[in-house]
Amino acid sequence: MLQNKSFSRKTRQGKVIKVVREHYLRDDIYCGAPFCKVCDSSAARLSSTASTVLIVDTNVVLNQIDLLENEAIDDVVVLSVVLDEVKNKNLGVYNRLRALCSNSVKKFFVFSNEYHKDTYVKAMVGESPNDRNDRAIRVAAQWYQNHLGNATRVVLITNDRDNKRKAVEEGISAETGVVLEKDDQSIYLFVSVEAYVKSLGQPGLVDLLVQAPSEDVGMEDVEDLRPSKKKIIYTEHKPMSEITAGLSRGIFHQGKLRVNRYNPFEAYVGSESIGDEIIIYGRANMNRAFDGDVVAVELLPQEQWHEEKSLSIADEEDEEEDDVHLVPSSADDAPRVTNQMQSSLGNANPISSRPSGRVVGVIKRNWHSYCGSLEPMPMPAGSGGVAHALFVSKDRRIPKIRIQTRQLGNLLDKRIIVAVDSWDCLSRYPSGHYVRTIGEIGDRDTETEVVLIENDIDARPFSSQVLACLPPLPWTVSSEDLENPIRQDLRHLRVFSVDPPDIADVTNFVHPGSPLDDEATQRGTSVYLVERRIDMLPKPLTEDICSLRADVERLAFSVIWEMTPEAEIISSRYTKSVIKSCAALSYVEAQARMDDSRLMDPVTTDLRNMNALAKVMRQRRIDRGALTLASAEVKFQIDTETHDPLDIGMYQIREANQMVEEFMLAANISVAEKILSHFPLCSLLRRHPSPTKEMLEPLLRTATAIGLNLDVSTSKALADSLDRAVVSYLGDDPYFNKLIRILATRCMTQAVYFCSGDLTPPEFYHYGLSARLYTHFTSPIRRYADVIVHRLLAAALGIYKLPGIFQDRPQLTSIADNLNYRHRNAQMASRASVELHTLIYFRKRPTDTEARIVKIRSNGFIVFVPKFGIEGPVYLAPRNDKGGGEWLVDEQQQKVKKTDGSISFGVLQTVRIHMEVVEPQPNRPKLQLTLN
């Protein structure tokens, strides 16, 4: 049967045209119930004993997706009209619903009602699309009831009052309340979500429900007696039409809101229309926007740009404190321009500042679920009933969230996940609902899981489809591999490896488009936590087949150079190969061999030769202007039984590390050149943008304060001036240079992957390495970028043809973006894991140690503890009297002095501190630093 759909559409030029599309109605769309005698049940997904079939409407899906994901809800028919509506309204929910529909455990069936000849509904004259869709849902529900007959009850779940009224008019007995006992056979039932969930008799489920806004208001009348609650806290968001008009007239600016990780009351909106970031101070100006929301911003008048700053902290009643955390490894991790310091100065310091603004509307929400815990509170009197609690997210950028729960006693000492539902302008905090419990607070496994969830890391075991892609074990190099002309036999050569597994031929096992490849694309990288590793590829590959162990034959992808003793490359060659490693050394072993002058065996001699070459290469690289940056990486010793940390120490960097690093850099650079020359538009490269003046400002301020002259004009100039920075004003200090380098490191941005077709060649530059081109080739086992580069290189050598995906630039760009996202998350997770273990370590071991002051604040300073690689605040004055009292800050000299001049602290000065874990609130342990 053929139907024509016709509608009017406005073109981009503003012309209104009529669009006519064909719409075929079919008779081969089946109901999905295996017990149905009429329909083909090969694709049926509903359970064979279903006595109740649920049909949900769009708003139920949009609001109650957490409920649908609960295992109590099953046998759901998802209509295609609902899917389409959900897709248009919220892509995130759509993806979750799609995942439910394809999940083999859940019995969700998609019924394409729009294409079924009996359930297709043609819009009536004057009927709004919304009403038509509601009618389509009712028609489909009725069809299901007629189709499945008396044995099965069809329940339409909706909260729409209008819909209910119409259903009554159509003769449906619609009763909200527990009406499931009603025995009306020919007609489907019409039930509200609350009523349905209550009828299931599981009180825990009710927590998952999103409260309707109307009920919320009524409830607040009863619960909240504070008069302040009644007043309007946030300004109303402007209607969408006004926002669109304002955006096109240039009054408002659109951009993604980024909340400062270290100060949740400060946010940035990168706006293309004014080409700068707009700063937004304070929750009132952020006007209920969350991190990641796309917002419309109005600029504040210029004279308010400074006053806002001083207000930003003083205004908020519930200021959160700085926690002790790991030393940031790049500018992305570090706190942004320190406004705390300026806040104490107020308007006194008229530096030219960036524009500030306030949010007038949210264009697109970025709400999802958050990990955290409930704010400790006494149990309310009637603890059996509904309690209201405040949820504090682990992510400090997220405001507290109000939730309702019936299981308060259970949840207080748990880490839970909460989703946000709405944020009314009358309420200080957004309201949300409980999703699930992770485990007890402070428990290592729970906290590790929180880290993984927070960073969106998939730690699930590999699926059977993925594992099916692996070659059978035990695996050995086969004769076909040896005879393959593309593969060079290098078994006769003396090959050995030092720590990171040599460049195994991973792409020989991970084929493009296979489930294994898809999984690896998604994961993007392996994640290293303190006590465990989450692999990108399954264990048999990482630990056996692609691990170049000693004395076994393995497949590799080799870069072969011929070099002069001056480390000049005479020829370079790339080939797939078979190797037999004669030694797999760790860094420590390699270093020990090189240092032991008695050893004269061939491997050791090779090592020494290579080290000599590496030194030449390194020197050449440094002359070219590569930066030697320092990080404060720490290493844990973990108890094998309890997995508790036993000791923390700085990670030692040996000559062997530097040697391997040098050859890896050289391999990466030469591969980057090779692939780019063959595929100028679709190569995957890595670039490191030059830091802007603004980003280097904290470093320069510190340097000026201690009388150090840094030239930051180019990476070469910076490298040279860092080399010169050996003598501090405090006299001889062996750690000083490293400290300056650590401070410099945190001013840099992170290097990122990109697709070479998206940028111009000057932008390919890698600042840190001072290299024109760079990519990742050396670790295909743990980084997906290297897998892509392997494929590109193989195609460049004519070994394989390029997989189709490389022709699709948007997709390649999205892969690069995903890799950047995953890498960043993996790093954040590693850091969080180290922080967690640091806390566990110090729980039993209060310690006195030396620390260096890295930043001066109005009421104290931030210290860096080199031995443990952590950083945190030391307060000189009680937290509530900021800047006032007996301490004076000298901004120019970066010093804080007691008013009587008896004690003063300057930046980079060494202080003795005491580290101890305290629990200011039950279940909330934190590391506290105090002056010794």
Residues of this chain that bind another protein (CB under 8 A)? 2, 4, 11, 15, 17-26, 80, 98, 101-102, 110, 112, 114-115, 804, 807
Confirm if 374 and 324 have CB atoms less than 8 A apart: no
| Own/partner long-range contacts of 570-574 (Cβ < 8 Å, ≥24 apart) | 572/670, 574/671, 574/674, 574/793, 574/797
Q: Which two tokens stand for residue 231?
A: 């007043």
Report how far residue 252's alpha carbon sits from residue 893's, in angstroms, rounded to the nearest whole number. 40
Residue for token pair 């990109």: 754
Confirm if 235 and 287 have CB atoms less than 8 A apart: yes
- Crossing angle for the helix pair 80-89 and 91-102, nearest 10 degrees? 140
Instruction: Compute the least distance from the CB of residue 78 to another protein, in Å.
Output: 10
Instruction: Compute the least distance from the CB of residue 793 to another protein, in Å.
Output: 20
Instruction: Compute the least distance from the CB of residue 754 to another protein, in Å.
Output: 23
- By beta-carbon proximity to another protein, the closer residue of 94 and 587 is 94
- By beta-carbon proximity to another protein, the closer residue of 32 and 246 is 32
- By beta-carbon proximity to another protein, the closer residue of 29 and 614 is 29
- By beta-carbon proximity to another protein, the closer residue of 16 and 151 is 16
- By beta-carbon proximity to another protein, the closer residue of 19 and 570 is 19
- SS3 letters for 346-370? HHHCCCCCCCEEEEEEEEECCCCEE
Confirm if 896 and 856 have CB atoms less than 8 A apart: yes
Confirm if 916 and 842 have CB atoms less than 8 A apart: yes
Question: How far is residue 369 CA from its own chain's centroid?
Answer: 13
Instruction: Compute the least distance from the CB of residue 469 to another protein, in Å.
Output: 18
3-state SS class at 574: strand
Report how far residue 22's alpha carbon sits from residue 25's, in angstroms, rounded to the nearest whole number. 10
- By beta-carbon proximity to another protein, the closer residue of 17 and 151 is 17
Instruction: Compute the least distance from the CB of residue 788 to another protein, in Å.
Output: 18
Q: Which two tokens stand for residue 906?
A: 């300057």
- By beta-carbon proximity to another protein, the closer residue of 15 and 226 is 15
- By beta-carbon proximity to another protein, the closer residue of 2 and 151 is 2
Instruction: Compute the least distance from the CB of residue 21 to another protein, in Å.
Output: 6
Confirm if 190 and 172 have CB atoms less than 8 A apart: yes
Report which of 287, 283, 306 is spatially closest to residue 297, judged by C-alpha positions.
287
Confirm if 537 and 781 have CB atoms less than 8 A apart: yes
- By beta-carbon proximity to another protein, the closer residue of 3 and 422 is 3
Report how far residue 690's alpha carbon sits from residue 869's, in angstroms, rounded to the nearest whole number. 26
- By beta-carbon proximity to another protein, the closer residue of 27 and 183 is 27
Instruction: Compute the least distance from the CB of residue 5 to another protein, in Å.
Output: 9
- By beta-carbon proximity to another protein, the closer residue of 23 and 256 is 23
Q: Residue count of the chain, please give it.
A: 932
3-state helix, strand, coil in the chain (%, to 5): 35, 25, 40
Confirm if 540 and 464 have CB atoms less than 8 A apart: no
Instruction: Compute the least distance from the CB of residue 114 to another protein, in Å.
Output: 7
Report which of 311, 321, 333 is spatially closest to residue 260, judged by C-alpha positions.
333
Segment holding 678, helix H or strand E: helix 655-678
Q: Which two tokens stand for residue 52?
A: 């109740």
Instruction: Compute the least distance from the CB of residue 30 to another protein, in Å.
Output: 10
Instruction: Compute the least distance from the CB of residue 2 to another protein, in Å.
Output: 6
Strands 752-755 and 847-857 come out as: unpaired
- By beta-carbon proximity to another protein, the closer residue of 202 and 807 is 807
The widest CA-to-CA distance across the chain, in whole angstroms, is 98
Strands 387-393 and 369-374 come out as: antiparallel
Instruction: Compute the least distance from the CB of residue 113 to another protein, in Å.
Output: 11
What phi and psi values does residue 316 have, to the nearest 5 degrees? -80, 135
Gyration radius of the chain over CA positions:
32
Residue for token pair 């904290």: 698
Q: How many angstroms separate the Cα of 446 from the Cα of each of 438, 439, 461, 829?
A: 6, 5, 17, 14
Confirm if 137 and 121 have CB atoms less than 8 A apart: no
Instruction: Compute the least distance from the CB of residue 803 to another protein, in Å.
Output: 9
Instruction: Compute the least distance from the CB of residue 17 to another protein, in Å.
Output: 4
- By beta-carbon proximity to another protein, the closer residue of 8 and 892 is 8
- By beta-carbon proximity to another protein, the closer residue of 202 and 465 is 465
Instruction: Compute the least distance from the CB of residue 64 to another protein, in Å.
Output: 22
- By beta-carbon proximity to another protein, the closer residue of 109 and 864 is 109
Instruction: Compute the least distance from the CB of residue 604 to another protein, in Å.
Output: 50
Confirm if 554 and 477 have CB atoms less than 8 A apart: yes
Q: How many angstroms separate the Cα of 210 from the Cα of each of 63, 155, 288, 384?
A: 6, 20, 18, 20
